[in-house]
Amino acid sequence: MLELQLDNKAFGGRTLFDGFNMALQAGEFLCLLGPSGCGKTSLINLLAGLDQQFQGRIRLDPSLQRPGAIGYMFQQPRLLPWYTVRQNLELIAEPARRDSITPMLALMGLTDSASLYPNRLSLGMARRVALARALINQPKLLLMDEPFVSLDPPTAKQMRQLIHRIREQHPDTAMVLVTHDLDEALDLADRILVLGDSPTRVVYRWQGAPRGGARHESLRQQLLEHYCR
């Protein structure tokens, strides 16, 4: 559903990417791992159309070209502080999706928080609102830039469980996650790309995550080895 051919991308006076390609299938969960500054956020900004300063091309399936087809969950919730939780969703929701706001709030466990303003929310609650906002128009592609960073472990686990539930309900929705958390990647991803070197390239790739057990730990060690190289 998506192909990126990145011939050249410069950032801060240096060449960040030089001859980098990646593709994504419908319904696939791709995780991007790598050290800070290697270009993970730059990649998803390109996919979201937020950055046009590059040489190459992005081919999008027609299903990704309609308004609202690409959802983006940023590192920070970025909620408008003068709007309530419900109003933050109403601002984004297309007219045909307005009836989905109440069920979406219920799915996120936010029914009783719909009338609260962002300054009354915990970080975990604000992140759930941000996820609801990214999903309200039923995107075919969801981009997530370290959405669970700085959350306490129980809250981060709750967020991952929400992602699993959303994937069950919308199996055709593709997702791309940027993270520094190896266990988070192993829990969620169908495919993992570890980025590194300069210019950035894929230094390790893996597909088909085992869920727990000795194979999980073996893969974790392999990812850690390449992540820290």
Q: How confident is the model at residue 66 (pLDDT cuts 50, 70, 90)?
A: confident
Taking phi over 0 as left and psi of -120 to 50 as alpha, with beta for the rest, 184 belongs to alpha
pLDDT value of residue 227: 62
The CATH classification number of 2-76+138-227 equals: 3.40.50.300
Domains of the chain, residue spans: 2-76+138-227
Query: Is the CA virtual torsion 47, 50, 56, 58 positive or negative?
Result: positive
pLDDT on residue 217: 67
| pLDDT confidence band for 182 (50 / 70 / 90) | confident
Q: Does the structure show a pLDDT above 60 at 28?
A: yes
pTM: 0.90
Q: What percent of the chain has pLDDT over 70?
A: 91
How much is the pLDDT for 213?
A: 53
Residue 170's alpha-carbon distances to 101, 138, 210, 213, in angstroms, are 16, 9, 22, 28
CB atoms within 10 A of CB 25: 12
Tens digit of each residue's pLDDT (9 = 90 or more) over 74-110:
989 999 999 999 999 999 999 999 999 999 999 999 9
Give percent above pLDDT 90 in the chain.
Answer: 69
What pLDDT score does 218 carry?
Answer: 67
**Nearest CA to 31 among 160, 168, 193?**
193
- Closest by Cα among 189, 192, 193, 191 to 203: 193
| Mean of all residue pLDDT scores within the chain | 90
The whole-angstrom separation of Cα 41 and Cα 164 is: 22
More confident position, 226 or 102: 102
What number of CA atoms fall less than 13 Å from residue 56's CA on the CB side? Answer: 23
pLDDT digits (tens, 9 = 90+) for 128-171: 999 999 999 999 999 999 988 888 888 889 899 999 999 999 99
Residue 42 gets which letter from DSSP?
H
Q: Are 32 and 180 in contact (CB under 8 A)?
A: no
pLDDT at position 71 over 80: yes
DSSP conformation class of 216? H
Task: Give the range among 32-36, 87-91, 214-218 with minimum mean pLDDT.
Answer: 214-218
